Amino acid sequence: MAFPKELSNVLSFVISKGYQIHPDAFDILKSHDEDVMKIIGKVLKNKEEQNRRMKKSNIILAEDLIGISTNLNEYVSPNRFDKNRVNNLITSFNDNESSKSYFRILFDPSKRIRSFNNESPSISNNGNNLSETIGFINLFKSRYEKLSSILANRQESKSITKISFIKNNLFTFKKNTSRSNLDGSNLNSRNYDKNNSFFISGLVMSKNSKKNGLEIIIDDQSGIINTIATTDELKKQVSMIALDQMVLLEVENKGSLFVIKKILSPDIPDHIPVRSKNEEYVVLISDLHVGSKYFMERQFLKFIEWLTSPDNEIANRIKFLCICGDLIDGVGIFPNQEKELLELDAIKQMNHVIELLTKIPEKINIFIIPGNHDLGRRALPQPSIP
């Protein structure tokens, strides 16, 4: 086995040349007892030749070492190198159906990617009042449901009661026995006196200043309720709440008023990285501005050529392309814009975008979100690009 100092020198040398070593390749290097630097020198020489042939890769893979260790014995100590281990690696590599791209897809997330174009109508650009109304409803419904799922992780969520249930049973409240039950079902009846508190959650519809405090109106899809903050601390919190924000309130009934005792907001969930077992890549780009004289079409075509390169190891691992807005430069976006345009028709600009994107391989899933230069409305709920 190579000494740590020798491996450290190899790593320093590789990094100084602008390359990196894959962990699998590093494991093979550790099986050598000598001549490790010579093997790396040969690998780097091969990499440089590949770069001159437009097969650029700055990562030394296990395959690079396997080829050298089996075909170039002068770079390997035959008495000390574990030949069986190498042969096993070669066999498993050659038996892999996806060996040409050096990876195997264990799970293809693209099967879960859906297009919403043919589903129930949402917000539209055609001025249809019904579809626009449904679009706004779906926007706030989605916001409520997603934030409710976050609130469900709080201990207080066990006691959340639907607003409609409160109004229908003003003095008879039911205690929630299910942690995720937010609809008032499966509850045991229990009589509370009118000073007992309960929890509600919903989106803030409006805020109003009253002589006895600050009023906020909450909507939870089952109904709306007027609540009021009377203490200085709670009034300060209410003043900082934005409209359409999700809140969890502890309130108590005092005569005809529902007085706020506590205000809680959804917590920021812990970020749990979801990592693929495969080495796959996503490319993030934006602001193409097709139609503008500043659109770098020649460079974009070279980018597409790189994506379609069958021998490029990195390009072969690209699974997704995200275009984050401003595919076209649009028309009438800012004063005197026509002086910067090669195409004055936004539809023709989009047609040119489509022509360019069809050159990208079908194996790459493309995600597009509209920007302020693209066709369609800017306000939420923002529709897809027509």
Cα–Cα distance for residue pair 271/123, rounded to 1 Å: 31
pLDDT digits (tens, 9 = 90+) for 174-221: 444 333 344 443 333 333 444 578 889 999 999 999 888 999 999 988
Listed residues 264, 279, 300: the one ending a domain: 264
Residue 149 lies inside a defined structural domain of this protein: no
When pLDDT is cut at 50, 70 and 90, the band that residue 15 belongs to is: confident
Residue 168 lies in a domain: yes
Q: Does 115 lie in the same domain as 57?
A: no
- Contact present, 281 and 318 (Cβ < 8 Å): yes
Residue with more model confidence, 147 or 190: 147
Do 123 and 194 reside in the same domain of the chain?
no
Burial of 79 (0-12, 13-18, 19+ CB in 10 A): exposed
Dihedral sign of CA atoms 352, 355, 358, 359 in order: negative
Residue 241, domain member (yes or no): yes
Q: Say which residue, 62 or 231, is predicted with more confidence.
A: 231
Model pTM score: 0.50
Give the pLDDT confidence score for residue 189 in this predicted structure: 37
155: three-class secondary structure by DSSP: helix
Q: How far is it, in rounded angstroms, from Cα 278 to Cα 170?
A: 56
Token reading at 138: 């779906």
118 shares a domain with 177 = no
Any domain includes 9: yes
Say whether both 160 and 248 belong to one domain: yes
Dihedral sign computed on CA atoms, order 219, 225, 226, 232: negative
- The model's pLDDT over 72-108, given as tens digits with 9 standing for 90+, comes to 443 343 333 444 544 454 444 445 444 444 334 344 4
pLDDT for 112: 47
Q: How many CB atoms lie within 10 A of CB 279?
A: 13
Q: Are residues 91 and 112 in the same domain?
A: no
**236 and 276 fall within a common domain:** no
Total number of domains in the chain:
3
pLDDT: which is higher, 345 or 36: 345
Is the model more confident about 42 or about 269? 42
- 3-class state of residue 49 by DSSP: helix
Same domain, yes or no, for 217 and 188? yes
Which CATH number goes with the domain that contains 253?
Answer: 2.40.50.140
pLDDT score for 377: 79
Out of 104-108, 262-266, 350-354, least confident range: 104-108
* Residue 183 belongs to a domain: yes
pLDDT for the residue 64: 75
The domain that holds 110 is classified in CATH as 3.60.21
Same domain? For 281 and 342 the reply is yes
Cα–Cα distance measured from residue 304 to residue 152, given in angstroms and rounded to the nearest whole number: 45
Residue 7 is predicted with a pLDDT of 77
Q: Which domain holds residue 87?
A: 4-95
Q: What is the mean pLDDT of residues 243-259?
A: 88
* Boundary (domain end) residue, out of 264, 296, 314: 264
**pLDDT tens-digit profile of 167-180?**
787 644 444 433 33
| Domain assignment of residue 148, yes or no | no
